[in-house]
Each structure stands twice: as structure tokens, then as C-alpha cells.
Amino acid sequence: MADLPRLCIFGDSHYACLKQAEVQGLVDTSGVDLEYWGHVGGRFRYLEFRDGAVHPLDDFTARRFARFNAKGREFLPAADFDVIHVTGARVYVWKLFHQVLRGLVQGPYLSSGLARRILVDGLRGQTGYQLAAGLASTGTARVLLSPIAYYTADPDRFADLVTPEMAALIPERVPEFWGIMERVAAEDGIELLRQPEGTVTGGLFTDPDYAVAGHVEKQDFEHHNAAYGAEILARAVAMARG
């Protein structure tokens, strides 16, 4: 294993679908030394980047992260890996995209400069992004970032959130938004990865085929299943091999 590219999946509860994809054999992970380091998102409030690593702020958090890591790691050193794929990690883009789209249809008050500022500040202000930027700043690991996927499409729940006027802007504007964020992330040493196009419906939602089981009953429109995890994990493994 020592000669294989060392890949770490670091994330919040959204990394679970990647693990499920591996366990179910949906992704060929041969050719990489794969490791997971993560926990539910609430614990991300108790993480910080210092001395080349992501460190928990207290022993309880350290033990929680160690529990779900095959090597019992209590902190995450960038130098131990060739590629770190930050997955979910409480990094949201849907709300930022929605905010800018809503502003654009309300009148000529949202300039391109202000729209960019909303996206840039909104991205850089999120804790998970800051942890990714810290890892990238070491220059020892290639850092990938897949933000939390769009909400699962549901006409009853989201019908009033995206107006026809906003929907008309999505095909042109949302790719622009991603482009802005990709360039900003690159400045911080991060490779920001867009949600795979084949998982998207209506330009701003995730296809229900990728929803968790019983998502309507559970009112869980945010998490996704092993099929979605396979899309994300396969991409990360391919990039690590490369």
C-alpha cells in the first residue's frame, strides 16, 4: 500500500454515501490507499486548522472522529496524504446560488460585482471551506472539494422557492456561479468540483433517483444515497490515480 496514492475522504455526514458506495462495490477503489476521516456536521464547529493539520478543539471531538477512522486518527495531517477530498463538510452552495438568482430577478440592483462578492464571501466564510484552504496551504496534498449536493427535487416542498423568472436564469447563470467559485478556490489552492451533471435536474436540484430511502417521510432532502456517493467517489479515486 505504501506505493499507492494516498487518498483521504474528509467530510461530514455527506461522506457516508461514499463509504456506502465502496462497501456495496459500486466503485473500484483499487490503485489507491483509501482512508476516511469524518463525522456529523455539528462536530465541525469544534475543528480548527493549525500546524499543518485539522485538529479537534476538545478530546471528545477527537475521540468521535477517531472512532470512524480505520487508523484511529484524532487529527488529520495534510502531509500524510497525496490527495484529500473534502466532501460536503458543511460547505453549501445552493443557498448562495438561490440568493443571487432571487436578487437578479428583483430588479437592476444586484450588480455583477455584488453578485460575485456574495458568492465569494459566502464560500470563503464557511468553516469547511476554511479547513480545506488550510490543508491546501501546506502544499503537501492536492485538495479537492465537493460541496454539499443540491436539495433533492420535490415540487411540493420547493415550488415557491424557484420562480419561473429565476428558473429562466438558471441555465446561463448557475454555470457562471460555479466558474466564479472555481477560480476563487483555485486562488486558495483548492480544486472545487461541480456536482456531476447527470445527477442534476432542473438546473438547481438533485434527481430523486439519488435521494436517500424514504426521504419524503424522513423530510431529508439534503442527504443522498450510495448511487450518488459512487459518482463522487469514482471521480475522486480517478483523480487520485492520475
pLDDT in tens, the chain (242 residues): 568 999 999 999 999 999 999 999 999 999 999 999 999 878 899 999 999 999 999 999 999 999 999 999 999 999 999 999 999 999 999 999 999 999 999 978 899 999 999 999 999 999 999 999 999 999 999 999 999 999 999 988 887 899 999 999 999 999 999 999 999 999 999 999 999 999 999 999 999 999 999 999 999 999 999 999 999 999 999 999 98
Cα–Cα distance, 172 to 218 (Å, whole number): 33
Helix (H, G, I), strand (E, B) or coil at 162: coil
Identify the pLDDT of residue 158: 85
Whole-structure pTM value: 0.95
Identify the pLDDT of residue 156: 83
Identify the pLDDT of residue 160: 86
Helix (H, G, I), strand (E, B) or coil at 129: helix
The phi and psi torsions of 29 (rounded to 5 degrees) equal -100, 15
Identify the pLDDT of residue 120: 98
Identify the pLDDT of residue 107: 79
For 103, the grid coordinates are 436578487
Cβ atoms 128, 44 nearer than 8 A: yes
In angstroms, the first-to-last Cα distance of the chain is 16
State the virtual CA torsion across 44, 33, 138, 117 in degrees, nearest 10.
-50
Distance of CA 160 to the CA centre of its chain: 26
Identify the pLDDT of residue 213: 96
Cα–Cα distance, 102 to 173 (Å, whole number): 12
